[in-house]
Amino acid sequence: MANLGFVGLGVMGGNMVSRLLGKGHAVAGYNRTRAKAEWLVGQGMRWGESPRAVCAAADVTLMMVSNTEALQVVAEGPDGLLAGLSAGKVLIDMSTVSPAASRALAVRVREKGADMMDAPVSGSVTTLQQGKLSVMAAGRRETFERVKPLLEDIGPKVTYVGENGLALSMKIATNLSLAVQMLAFSEAVLLAEKSGISRETAVDVLTHSVIASPMVQYRGPFVLKLPDEAWFNVNMMQKDMLLALEMGRKLDIPLPTTAVANQFLTAARGIGLAHKDFAVVFDVLAGMSGVTR
């Protein structure tokens, strides 16, 4: 049993904590909105009053926050994670943020005698709950070996990819395909539907066909009915697409399908769908096609 901290208890972070508690670990957690964490307190999670308090109480602290700015907010200041660090502790950032910002934070963590890894995940709430999540990890190899069993309690597929920041690069490279696949899937559904095939039949055929990646299988049915609570909303998806496009610019790699999918996310935001699951790109394309949900 590990003595853990966890900062950021949203949909994914909260379900990770639930899984860790189920594995027998002791977890202290913090979230900006405490009400969203009460279900975890009911499962045995100890509430921490600040990121600093959580980090000070734990040997290993994990975090899952929304973006680079949120990472800086929870890390900085008198109540931030950095203030709670001491020698021997480990910080694991499972968020998807700027690789450069993550590397810069790792330098400051090591100045305190602690260590840091970036360990973003690939998958959804469903794959997490099913125990099928995959984890990419980057940082010092010896620290990876220390925390690998803990990461395996979150998802069984844990891959070491190299030095700090490279797991984030791998995650961004992975995530750009999500929106591209969803847009292509939407095109196929609408082409079938306007040909006279029912939407339900088209979704059934496509999600059991050669194009049915795990993402298409679990998110494809969202073109029939969006979830009440977004698994990964438009704003979050676009954040990752913009990170990818910026990486492409710096590395001289054209990302044409990423750029097109990003424009559909912008259109979704423009018509007030920013907080819907990013599968709502179907609605944007459907509207352009004269089709209603």
Q: If you write DSSP's letter for every residue of 90-146 in order, what string do you get? A: EEEE-S---HHHHHHHHHHHHHTT-EEEE--EES-HHHHHTT--EEEEES-HHHHHH
Helices (H), ranges, 24-80 = 38-41, 51-57, 68-75
**φ, ψ dihedrals at 116, nearest 5°:** -140, 145
**CA-to-CA dists, residue 281 to 63, 219, 253, 275, angstroms:** 29, 12, 25, 12
C-alpha span between 90 and 85 (Å, rounded): 8
Among this protein's residues, is 171 annotated catalytic?
yes
C-alpha span between 96 and 64 (Å, rounded): 8
Active-site pick, 89, 112, 157, 171? 171
Catalytic residue numbers?
A: 171
